[in-house]
């Protein structure tokens, strides 16, 4: 797993990776809002060690005094959670400019479609199957119009 960058460019992926890891270790409650069951100090320490290990050195130094994983999680979210707002216009733009003929293979095109669709889903925008098909059909070469029909 990579460290979250100071710019926060990889923050969204980092969040998902950390959540998965903490869930696998039964430590996810350490970063979530308080529930009925209190979280033990040992669990908090383990989660804090993990989170600190995977944030940029500058962020580690800045939040050195923080001892609660939930508090650190909230501080990082306040700083970087706006990334969805940054990704959405860029992803919409990439979707509008996407053309099948710009790729060497259908696999490369499909990979890009999946990447864009995932980012849109992450930003809470759905891309219906009809739009995917229409995008592919509309970007065919004129000589391949028979394939579209």
* pLDDT by residue, tens only, the chain of 149 residues: 788 788 887 888 898 899 999 999 999 999 998 777 788 899 999 999 999 999 999 999 999 999 999 999 999 999 888 877 888 899 999 999 988 888 888 899 889 998 899 888 888 888 888 888 887 777 665 555 555 45
63 and 92 assigned to the same domain: no
Domain count, the chain: 2
55 and 68 assigned to the same domain: yes
110 and 55 assigned to the same domain: no
Q: Domain ends where: 80, 97, 112?
A: 80
Spatial distance between the Cα atoms of 8 and 74, rounded to a whole number of angstroms: 14
87 and 74 assigned to the same domain: no
Q: Does any domain span residue 129?
A: yes
Q: Does any domain span residue 5?
A: no
Q: Is 68 exposed, middle or buried (0-12, 13-18, 19+ CB in 10 A)?
A: middle
Tokens of 14: 């980092």
Instruction: Quote the Cα angle for 110-87-115, to 5°.
Output: 15
45 and 20 assigned to the same domain: yes
Write out the residue range of the structural domain in which residue 136 sits: 83-148
């Amino acid at each position: 797993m990579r460290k979250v960058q100071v710019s926060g460019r990889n923050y969204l992926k980092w969040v998902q990776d950390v959540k998965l890891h903490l869930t696998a270790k039964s430590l996810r409650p350490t970063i979530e809002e308080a529930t009925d069951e209190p979280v033990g100090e040992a669990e908090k320490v383990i989660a804090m060690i993990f989170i600190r290990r995977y944030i940029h050195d500058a962020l580690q130094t800045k939040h050195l005094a923080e001892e609660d994983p939930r508090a650190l999680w909230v501080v990082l979210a306040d700083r970087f959670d706006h990334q969805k707002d940054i990704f959405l216009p860029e992803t919409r733009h990439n979707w509008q400019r996407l053309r099948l003929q710009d790729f060497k293979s259908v696999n490369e095109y499909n990979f890009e479609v999946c990447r864009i669709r995932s980012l849109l889903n992450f930003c809470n925008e759905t891309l219906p199957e009809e739009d995917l098909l229409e995008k592919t059909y509309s970007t065919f070469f004129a000589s391949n119009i028979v394939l579209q029909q």
